[in-house]
């Protein structure tokens, strides 16, 4: 089925709903007009292509993810700094905190601090 056949079927259905009798030529003429009108619909009532919307959504979630990642990194950095100060470690000492809360000092080799 091509576009003209689709729009012709639409015209037939519409004419049938209101008991309108049209010739084949009339249906074809109306279908061509509707088909051209539909082509210009996007210019009259702009609706962006779906891929633009998907790209916008992707940009939004990437910005949110980056923001959350930056907040998380700052939180980790601040926690490590607080632990370093609490355990009286030198400020240049690399500290890491495991998921279970174990604190490690990393000066070339890892050593559990607490």
Q: Phi-psi bin for 101: left (phi > 0), alpha (psi -120 to 50), beta?
A: left
How confident is the model over 47-54, as a mean pLDDT?
78
Pick 1 or 13 by higher pLDDT: 13
Q: Which residue has the tokens 């370093």?
A: 84
Q: Rounded mean pLDDT of the chain? A: 86
d(CA 7, CA 34): 7
pLDDT reported for residue 110: 67
Instruction: Dig out the tokens for 102 from the structure.
Output: 């174990």
Residue 67 has pLDDT above 80, yes or no: yes
Give the predicted TM-score (pTM) of the model: 0.47
Residue 114 has pLDDT above 70, yes or no: no
Local confidence band at 72 (pLDDT 50, 70, 90 cut-offs): very high
Helices (H) and strands (E) in the chain, counts: 3, 3
Q: Which distant-in-sequence residues (6+ apart) come within 8 Å of 75 by Cβ?
A: none
40-2-13 Cα angle (round to 5): 80
Query: Would you kindly state where each structural domain of the chain is located, as residue ranges?
Result: 3-40, 67-112
Dihedral angle sign, alpha carbons of residues 106, 107, 111, 112: negative
């Amino acid at each position: 089925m091509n576009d003209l056949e689709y729009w012709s079927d639409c015209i037939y259905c519409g004419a049938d709903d209101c008991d309108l009798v049209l010739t084949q030529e009339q249906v074809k003429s109306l279908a061509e007009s509707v088909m051209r009108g539909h082509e210009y619909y996007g210019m009259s009532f702009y609706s962006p292509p779906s891929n633009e919307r998907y790209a916008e959504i992707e940009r939004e979630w990437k910005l949110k993810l980056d923001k959350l990642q930056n907040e998380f990194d700052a939180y980790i950095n601040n926690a490590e700094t607080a632990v370093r100060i609490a355990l009286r470690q030198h400020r240049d000492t690399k500290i890491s905190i495991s998921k279970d809360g174990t604190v490690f000092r990393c000066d070339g080799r890892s050593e559990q601090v607490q």
